[in-house]
Amino acid sequence: QVQLAESGGGLVQPGGSLSLSCVASGTSETSVSIYVMGWYRQAPGKQRELVATITQDDATNYENTLKGRFTISRDNAKKTVFLQMSDLKPEDTAVYYCCAGPWEPLIYWGQGTQVTVSP
């Protein structure tokens, strides 16, 4: 059983930056290193949507409108995936979920971390 724990959410002003982290536990470094890992988000009243994913070969996939502002990366030795967010907008306000799995659709999910962008 894989557990994912997100951290780094919070309140930030428009135009600001925030970095999220997600640590995997309950599995070996070798297993995590071959997983696809990613981030989704869900805003109030909206469906959960893709933010970004990253493969074992560091190939990345972003929701088109987020390219250039969001960057996903990973550190397999630390079993961690990161999401660096910049130039944040109020519409980025959402609960951000970490996810992982051997292939898509990803099957392991974290509890989520709240990101609020507000003056």
- Dihedral over alpha carbons 107, 47, 85, 114 (to 10 degrees): -90
Res 63: pLDDT? 96
Q: How many of the other CB atoms lie within 10 Å of CB of 7?
A: 14
pLDDT at 1: 80
Give the span between the Cα atoms of 50 and 53, in whole angstroms.
Answer: 8
**pLDDT for the residue 69:** 97
Q: What spatial distance separates the first Cα and last Cα of the chain, rounded to whole Å?
A: 40
- CA separation for the pair 56, 87 (Å, rounded): 28
